[in-house]
Structure 1
Amino acid sequence: MSIRTRTTPLTVVALAAGLALAAVAPALAGTTPAARPAAATTAQGDPRNVTQRVGDFYGAYIDAVYDNEDPASGADAKALRDFYLSAAARKKVAAWEKKNHADGILFAQNVPVKWKVAYTDSGMGHTTSRVTLTWSDGAHPQVTRIDVRSDLTTRKITDLKPAE
């Protein structure tokens, strides 16, 4: 008997066992198709884009306040405010918070489930971005909007106000 005829059945058995294991392994690992996360998304950035910086701020800020059980979240939220907001904007936010007993970045007492940012206008060294916050899922989610003004030179947020 040649070597080829002896190895062919062995190869077939090994291949079949490998395919069976590949089919069963995701179920054993708890990663069945229903449990798998959505397709991977990509992100890119440009620190010079002021509207994108507003999006970066809101994304990181919402992450920090959403994870309020994490002891570092309060410090993270403060550090984000210190980095992205001008001193005057921080002062205005603090005054609003004292008066309204709510978060002056989100203009609310709770945390949104989604956010998006879009460029709306620019002029005289500033740009305005509109932040849309979505507060619930479902067919008719509650949405609020905030107009965020940024300085084009410093890229700092200089003003935030609920959109009209």
Structure 2
Amino acid sequence: MAAAAPPPRVMVLPFPAQGHVMPLMALAHLLVQHGIEVEFVNTDFNRDRIIKAGGGEAVPAGINMVSFPDGMGPEGDHAATSASWPARRCSARSRRCVSKKIRWVVADVAMSWVVTVTAGCGVPIALFSLISVGAFVLRMHAPNLIEDGIIHEIGKRHIHAISNAHSTLVEI
């Protein structure tokens, strides 16, 4: 009898801020419930916070916490992630994880540089967005709004003033 195939493995890569980490950790829990192994890539600081906050249930079997230093000392402002995110370290770690037969990568949309890393490895990626549908659609259609004259390329905004069933543009 042939050995059972190993379960599929997914790498989850959140932006290192609590409002991004916890929703992706919830997704990781759901993936594990469906028989998928998860490599959860994060900073040492955030890994420790997850474990401390959730006790034994924070990281169930099936989730492998892959972490690295964020480059700050103990006194550092770990909440200032945008300035300190060690993309090079994470990129190297991500490549190493991908080489561990990762079938799919789920990355926070704020970590879009991961698309380049995964493209080089031939692994499909799904970008996870935490913004509302309305904000996402607005972001995706910004070029159309510029083209239609609703907003300027340099950031000036227009408001549609509706009067007598017709619309006029008013510059702010």
**TM-score by structure 2 length?**
0.21
Higher relative contact order (CA 8 A, sep 6+): 2
Flag the structure with larger Rg.
1
**TM-score by structure 1 length?**
0.22
